[in-house]
């Protein structure tokens, strides 16, 4: 037996206090008589004193002392150390990594074979307590130890392979060692990877190998020629014969194929040129019929700047043009025209008009710099204005020091319905935005040449904000554009993420403060940020493509496995006994006077 | 006393009992008991010389013819018997199971019925440290209701002073009669003077001493805090067999002293445990000692 707080046994001293108080308390019976003179002067004999003492040592005192002892020992936290007799208990550890999706030569999926083996093991174990653990990149306790065979069967049936890898060998070692030390008499590992079994209680079932042909590496990079992408491929032939594998690389619009001859149990590499392409995401596929399809297609993303085409109508402004070209996220291409007719085609990302009048038929987003838009915005005579005031906290004004702006005059304007005024002065709108048809329109009313905006640092900030407002374009990215299922993707260095579109087309809002996400399936993930959209190619871990991964050696523990012991807390039982004693004492206390009367 | 003092069946069984008064009685009203005075009745008493003014109807002409003396026959004057029940209501009467006061109440009810049924006047006076308001002796069964209500309302919560209380009774009552003194008579303040006053006045006194069983034979052991019911004085005592023997010895002496005192005054004395049946007292012991017939 152990005590969690032996110091509490000092409370036993209170039992002495109970005894002392008991004897100090007057225990005389009270009797009423008619005449005290009959009793006065009678001599008490020794026999009577002895009887008094015997009477005082009554059950109540013993119960009170017993109560104190029980409580003191209960507070001390006693517990029985008992050896875990879990000889009948077992843990079934099932590999749920992506490779368990593979089929053996006879067409049976590894996971199904593993499930069948697990059920067979369960039947052998009978009614013993069984736990089910699944592991891939991370271990998951599917079912805590239970003796209900039906629950175990349900748990085994619910196990499905993930797209993740096996996880590190250290992880599996930790799992197995932990299970063995946890008192499980038998640990069954069902996997497609051999485990070096130096542990006496660990047994393993290894899935049959499959003949797998897969892409084990896929990268893309821009070629020297503009619009060219070079894709680098490495394929593995897990079959016992030489194979000619046709690999195709594409961006969804353009594709290019190559034939790769790979010897038995060998790997081979190839470079595929893809042209012309300005895409960010690329796919490599091999057309094979093998046991594992997870590595027959791989994804890669490319970080590249994006062309942003601007049509400038009217007077040019070198300050604004410089600010446009300074945007790091876009390669801004500006085309100038003096005027534009209603029938002109405007296949551009943005139309900027300065000191001009745009026809209403123009398509696309519009930035009006002291310019008019037919049917929407008409400018009038300039009016003197003063201090500039921001009416809204809008992303367009992020970082802009509105108070530093100097605008001496601004034309009056008739705004369209639904227009939002962001900046104003003396009731005159200075910066207005609205949405019409399928485009965004932003109008800066005053003539830039008559303000101090071009010579302040607020101009490039405002231009960047305007570009971000008009379009979320593909953003250039640095670092890895490829990752594996189960590996976290760092979002923090690529701007504040807004949402992620998964390969299945589901858009997930990331929420504020999210810096990473862990993809659960292979494919192209589009990450939308405030600075643009970029792609991440997520692939099945390359370790899953191996026909026979390197076995994991699990050495025996350096120290002998201690007997698994578990403390059995006794305080509850003692507290219950104390409660029982308390009830007994209360009952006796109420009954004793009646007993005395009978005597 | 919330329960009924006495039941009708019990009273009906008492109907054939009546009080006995030995010798001539000096009553006030006509009744069934012979008076010391000569009077009009069927029972011949004596002859006496004729005095002018005597009723000539009572001259015994046969004696005059034979002896030539004018003698007048006198008859026993039959008077009623005032029965007064003096009930101790001191705090000590609350002891016992049933309490001594309740037993006294039942006894008084029975005696009242006996008296009223025998055409006597019956009165009840409770007393403690003094004489308490009671019911003076009257005739008739209506008196029974008054008596029962009085008895029902008695409570034992006062100290005892028998001498003073009996003296007040003597001063209060102007006629002698049959007086039952009912109480525990366990007092160190004296009772002799009061009882003697009754006897001296000419009352026929009957003393009924009621004691609880635990007073006669206490079953105490160990440390006991003994409290006097009337004074609230107490003492602590370790009680064993020897202590109890001493107590019984002392109680016996006290009872013997009372008995001797009453015997000296020719006063019938009854020591009654409160667990004894009332019928036994009435039918056997009272009849044995000539109180009832």
Residue that has been written with the tokens 């039992």 in this structure: A15
Identify residues of B whose CB sits under 8 angstroms from chain A CBs: 92, 95, 184, 186-188, 211-212, 215, 218-231, 233-243, 246-247, 250-251, 254
**Nearest-CB residue to B228 (from A30, A33, A46):** A33
- Averaged confidence pLDDT in chain A: 81
Are A511 and A555 part of one and the same domain?
no
| Same domain? A76 vs A109 | no
Q: Which helix (H) or strand (E) holds B173?
A: none
**Sign of the four-CA dihedral B26, B31, B33, B35:** positive
Kindly state whether residue A288 falls inside one of the protein's structural domains. Answer: no
- Could you list the pLDDT tens digit for every one of the 293 residues in chain B? 446 677 777 777 777 787 876 554 455 554 545 454 455 555 666 777 888 877 888 888 888 888 888 888 876 555 567 899 999 999 999 988 889 999 999 999 999 888 888 778 899 999 999 999 998 888 887 888 888 889 888 888 888 899 999 999 999 888 888 899 999 998 888 899 999 999 888 888 999 999 999 899 888 877 788 888 888 888 888 888 888 888 999 999 999 999 999 999 889 999 999 999 988 888 888 888 888 87
A42-68 average pLDDT score: 71
Task: Give the residue-averaged pLDDT of A358-370.
Answer: 88
Burial of B63 (0-12, 13-18, 19+ CB in 10 A): middle
Residues A168 and A175: their CA atoms lie apart, in Å, by 11
d(CA A431, CA A122): 73
The C-alpha atoms of residue A106 and residue A51 are separated, in whole angstroms, by 95
List, in order, residues 6 or more apart from A497 with CB less than 8 Å away: A491, A510, A514, A527, A528, A529
Whether A558 has a pLDDT exceeding 60, the answer reads no
CATH at residue A404: 3.40.50.880
Residue A371 has pLDDT above 90, yes or no: yes
Beta carbons of B292 and B115 less than 8 angstroms apart: no
Q: Is the pLDDT of residue A471 over 80?
A: no
Which two structure tokens, joined as six digits, stand for B226? 């003994």
Q: What is the domain extent for residue A584?
A: 2-83+570-598
Determine the pLDDT at residue B184. 92
B251/A52 Cβ within 8 A: no
Q: What's the rounded Cα separation, in Å, for the pair B148 and B172? A: 22
Looking from the CA of A128 toward its CB, the CA atoms found within 13 Å total 21
Element (H, E) at A80: strand A78-83
A244 touches chain B (CB under 8 A): no
pLDDT of residue A26: 57
pLDDT band for position A598 (cuts 50, 70, 90): very low
B221 → chain A, closest CA residue: A48
C-alpha–C-alpha distance, residues B26 and B79, integer Å: 7
Give the CATH number for residue A171. Answer: 3.40.50.410
Per DSSP, the three-state class of A141 is: strand
B202: left (phi over 0), alpha (psi -120 to 50) or beta: left
Instruction: Give me the pLDDT at residue A161, please.
Output: 92
A278 with A222: CB under 8 angstroms?
no
User: Do A161 and A48 sit in the same domain of this protein?
Assistant: no
- Residue A43 and residue B246: Cβ atoms within 8 Å? yes
Burial A245-261, CB ≥16 within 10 A → b, else e = bebbbbbeebebebebe
State whether A507 and A459 are in the same domain. Answer: no
**Contact status of A48 with chain B (Cβ, < 8 Å):** yes
Nearest to B183 by CA among B156, B202, B164, B203: B156
B223 interaction partners in chain A (CB closer than 8 Å): 27-29, 48, 52, 55
pLDDT value at A479 more than 50: no
Cα A465 to Cα A81: distance, rounded to the nearest angstrom: 68
Residues of B in contact with A52 (CB under 8 A): 222-223, 238
Distance, CA of A282 to CA of A250 (rounded, Å): 6
- In this complex, the residue of A30, A38, A47 whose CB is nearest that of residue B247 is A38
Burial class of A196 by CB neighbour count within 10 A (0 to 12, 13 to 18, 19+): middle
Residue carrying structure tokens 């400038």: A312
- Across residues A563-592, what is the average pLDDT? 77
CA distance B209 to A148: 84
For residue B18, report the phi and psi dihedrals to the nearest 5 degrees: -155, 165
**Residue A361 pLDDT class (50, 70, 90 cuts):** confident
**Domain annotation covers residue A246:** no
Strand intervals (E) in B80-144: 82-88, 121-127, 135-138
Per CATH, the architecture of B8-21+81-288 is what? 3-Layer(aba) Sandwich (3.40)
Q: Which residues contact A322 (CB under 8 A, 6 or more apart)?
A: A460
Is the CB of residue B201 less than 8 Å from the CB of residue B265? no
pLDDT at B1: 41
pLDDT category of residue A565 using cuts at 50, 70 and 90: low
Same domain, A522 and A553: no
* Per-residue pLDDT, A562: 46
CB B74 within 8 Å of CB B46: yes
Residue A177 lies inside a defined structural domain of this protein: yes
Sign of CA dihedral A95, A100, A106, A112: positive
Q: Are strands A186-191 and A90-95 parallel, antiparallel or unpaired?
A: parallel
Q: Are A48 and B231 an interchain contact pair (Cβ–Cβ within 8 Å)?
A: no
Residue A306 is encoded by which pair of tokens?
Answer: 């994006």
Better pLDDT: B10 or A434: A434
Q: Which of A35-49, A89-103, A316-330, A534-548 has the highest mean pLDDT?
A: A89-103
Q: How far apart are CA A472 and CA A476, in angstroms?
A: 12
Q: Is A33 on the interface with B (CB under 8 A)?
A: yes
- Within-domain flag for A263: no
Confidence of residue A54 (pLDDT cuts 50, 70, 90): low
Tens of pLDDT, residue by residue over B151-162, are: 888 888 888 899
Where does the pLDDT of residue A159 fall: very low under 50, low under 70, confident under 90, or very high at 90 and above? very high
Q: How far is B224 from chain A (nearest CA, A)?
A: 5
CB B66 within 8 A of CB B47: no
The pLDDT of residue A87 is 46
Question: Maximum distance among all alpha carbons in chain B?
Answer: 87
CB contacts of A34 in chain B (<8 Å) are: 92, 95, 184, 186, 211-212, 215, 228-230
Asked if the structure places residue A366 within a domain, the reply is yes
Q: Residue A33: pLDDT band by 50, 70, 90 thresholds?
A: confident
CB A118 within 8 A of CB A134: no
Q: What percent of chain A has pLDDT over 70?
A: 84
For residue A312, the model assigns a pLDDT of 93
Report helix, strand or coil for A112.
Answer: helix
Mean pLDDT of A92-110: 87
Hey, are the CB atoms on B186 and A27 less than 8 Å from each other?
no
User: Who among A34, A37, A51 is closest to B222 (CB)?
Assistant: A51
Q: How far apart are CA B111 and CA B127, in angstroms?
A: 18
Residue B188 to residue A29, Cβ atoms within 8 A: no
> For chain A, what is the domain count?
4
Give dist(CA A277, CA A225) in Å, integer. 11
A200 plus A116 within the same structural domain:
yes
Contact A462, A396 (CB under 8 A): yes
Which of A34, A48, A599 has the CB atom closest to B243's CB atom? Answer: A48
Residues 6+ apart with CB under 8 A from A17: none
Report the sign of the C-alpha dihedral through residues B221, B225, B227, B233, in that order. Answer: positive
Pairs across A and B, CB distance < 8 A: 111
More confident residue, A538 or B46: A538
Q: How far apart are CA A464 and CA B156, in angstroms?
A: 108
Rounded to an integer, the average pLDDT of A564-573 is: 72
In Å, how far is A14's CA from the nearest CA of chain B? 27
Judge whether A35 is closer than 8 Å to chain B, CB to CB.
Answer: yes
Is residue A218 within 8 A of residue A299, CB to CB? The reply is yes
pLDDT at A27 over 70: no
8 Å CB contact of B92 and A34: yes
Q: Which chain B residues touch A33 with a CB distance below 8 Å?
A: 92, 95, 215, 226-229
Range with the largest mean pLDDT of A148-152, A465-469, B98-102: B98-102
**Closest residue of chain A to B220, computed from CA coordinates:** A599
Query: What mean pLDDT is predicted for residues A548-574?
Result: 62
> Where is the domain boundary, A470, A501, A523?
A470
Whether A431 and A510 share a structural domain: no
User: Would you tell me how many other CB atoms lie within 10 Å of the CB of residue A380?
Assistant: 10
Smallest Cα distance from B276 to chain A, Å: 19
Domain ranges of chain B: 8-21+81-288, 30-79
Rounded distance between C-alpha atoms, residue A207 and residue A210, angstroms: 9
Query: Using H for helix, E for strand and C for coil, what is the string for A179-238?
Result: HHHCCCCEEEEEECCCEEECCCCEEEEECCCCCCEEEEEEEEEECCCCCCEEEEEEEEEC
Q: Which two tokens stand for residue B95?
A: 């002891």
């Amino acid at each position: 037996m152990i005590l969690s707080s032996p110091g509490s046994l000092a409370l036993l001293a209170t039992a002495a206090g109970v005894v002392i108080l008991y004897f100090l308390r007057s225990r005389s019976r009270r009797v009423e008589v008619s005449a005290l003179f009959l009793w006065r002067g009678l001599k008490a004999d020794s026999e009577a004193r002895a009887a008094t003492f015997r009477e005082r040592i009554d059950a109540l005192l013993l119960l009170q002392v017993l109560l104190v002892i029980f409580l003191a020992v209960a507070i001390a936290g006693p517990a029985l150390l008992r050896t875990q007799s879990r000889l009948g208990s077992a843990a079934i550890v099932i590999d749920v990594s992506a490779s368990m999706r593979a089929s053996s030569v006879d067409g049976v999926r590894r996971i199904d074979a593993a499930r069948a083996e697990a059920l067979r093991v369960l039947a052998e174990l009978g009614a013993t307590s069984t736990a089910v653990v699944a592991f891939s990149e991370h271990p998951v306790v599917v079912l805590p130890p239970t003796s209900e065979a039906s629950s175990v069967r349900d748990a085994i049936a619910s196990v499905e392979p993930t797209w993740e890898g096996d996880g590190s060998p250290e992880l599996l070692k930790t799992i197995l060692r932990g299970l063995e030390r946890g008192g499980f008499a038998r640990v069954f590992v069902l996997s497609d990877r051999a485990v070096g079994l130096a542990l006496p209680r660990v047994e393993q079932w290894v899935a049959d190998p499959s003949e797998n042909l897969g892409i084990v590496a896929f990268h893309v990079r821009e070629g020297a020629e503009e619009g060219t992408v070079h894709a680098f491929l490495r394929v593995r032939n897990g079959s016992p014969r030489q194979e000619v594998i046709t690999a195709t690389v594409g961006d969804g619009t353009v594709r290019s194929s190559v034939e790769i001859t790979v010897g038995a149990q060998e790997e081979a590499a190839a470079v595929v040129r893809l042209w012309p392409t300005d895409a960010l995401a690329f796919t490599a596929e091999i057309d094979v019929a093998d046991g594992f399809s997870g590595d027959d297609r791989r994804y890669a993303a490319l970080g590249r700047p994006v062309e942003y085409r601007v049509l400038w109508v009217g007077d040019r402004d070198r300050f604004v043009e410089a600010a446009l070209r300074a945007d790091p996220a876009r390669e801004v291409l500006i085309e100038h025209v003096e005027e534009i007719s209603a029938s002109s085609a405007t296949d551009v990302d943005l139309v900027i008009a300065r000191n001009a009048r745009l026809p209403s038929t123009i398509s696309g987003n519009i930035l009006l710099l002291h310019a008019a838009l037919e049917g929407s915005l008409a400018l009038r005579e300039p009016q003197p204005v003063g201090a500039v005031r921001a009416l809204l906290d809008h992303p367009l004004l992020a970082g802009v020091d509105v108070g530093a702006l100097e605008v001496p005059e601004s034309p009056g304007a008739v705004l369209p319905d639904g227009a939002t005024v962001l900046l104003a002065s003396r009731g005159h709108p200075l910066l207005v935005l609205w949405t019409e048809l399928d485009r965004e329109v932003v109008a800066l009313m005053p003539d830039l040449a008559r303000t101090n905006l071009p010579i302040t640092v607020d101009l490039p900030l405002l231009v960047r904000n305007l570009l971000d407002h008009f379009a979320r374009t593909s953003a250039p990215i640095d670092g890895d554009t490829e990752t594996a299922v189960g590996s976290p993707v760092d979002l923090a260095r690529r701007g504040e993420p807004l949402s992620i579109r998964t390969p299945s087309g589901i858009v997930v809002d990331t929420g504020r403060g999210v810096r990473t996400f862990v993809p659960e399936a292979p494919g192209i993930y589009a990450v939308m940020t405030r600075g643009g959209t970029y792609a991440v190619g997520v692939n099945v871990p390359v370790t899953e493509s191996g026909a026979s991964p390197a076995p994991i050696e699990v050495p025996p523990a350096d120290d002998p496995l201690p007997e698994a012991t578990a403390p059995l807390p006794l305080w509850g039982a003692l507290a219950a006994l104390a409660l029982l004693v308390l009830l007994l004492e209360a009952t006796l206390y109420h009954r004793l006077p009646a007993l005395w009367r009978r005597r | 006393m919330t329960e009924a003092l006495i039941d009708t069946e019990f009273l009906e069984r008492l109907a054939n009992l009546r009080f006995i008064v030995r010798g001539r009685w000096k009553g006030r009203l006509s009744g069934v008991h012979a008076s010391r005075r000569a009077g009009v009745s069927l029972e011949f008493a004596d002859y006496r010389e004729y005095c002018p003014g005597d009723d000539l109807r009572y001259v015994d002409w046969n004696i005059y013819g034979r002896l030539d003396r004018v003698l007048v026959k006198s008859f026993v004057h039959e008077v009623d018997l005032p029965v007064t029940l003096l009930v101790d209501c001191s705090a000590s009467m609350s002891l016992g199971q049933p309490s001594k006061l309740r037993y006294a109440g039942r006894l008084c009810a029975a005696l009242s019925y006996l008296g009223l049924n025998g055409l006597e006047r019956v009165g009840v006076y409770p007393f403690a440290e003094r004489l308490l308001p009671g019911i003076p002796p009257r005739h008739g069964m209506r008196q029974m209701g008054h008596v029962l209500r009085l008895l029902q309302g008695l409570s034992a919560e006062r100290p005892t002073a028998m001498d003073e209380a009996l003296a007040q009774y003597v001063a209060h009552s102007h006629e002698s009669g049959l007086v039952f003194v009912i109480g525990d008579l366990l007092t160190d303040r004296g009772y002799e003077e009061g009882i003697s006053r009754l006897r001296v006045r000419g009352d026929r006194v009957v003393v009924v001493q009621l004691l609880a069983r635990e007073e006669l034979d206490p079953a105490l052991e160990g440390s006991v805090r003994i409290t006097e019911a009337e004074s609230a004085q107490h003492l602590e005592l370790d009680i064993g067999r020897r202590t109890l023997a001493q107590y019984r010895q002392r109680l016996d002496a006290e009872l013997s002293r009372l008995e001797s005192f009453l015997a000296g005054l020719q006063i019938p004395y009854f020591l009654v445990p409160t667990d004894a049946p009332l019928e036994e007292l009435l039918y056997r012991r009272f009849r044995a000692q000539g109180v009832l017939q």
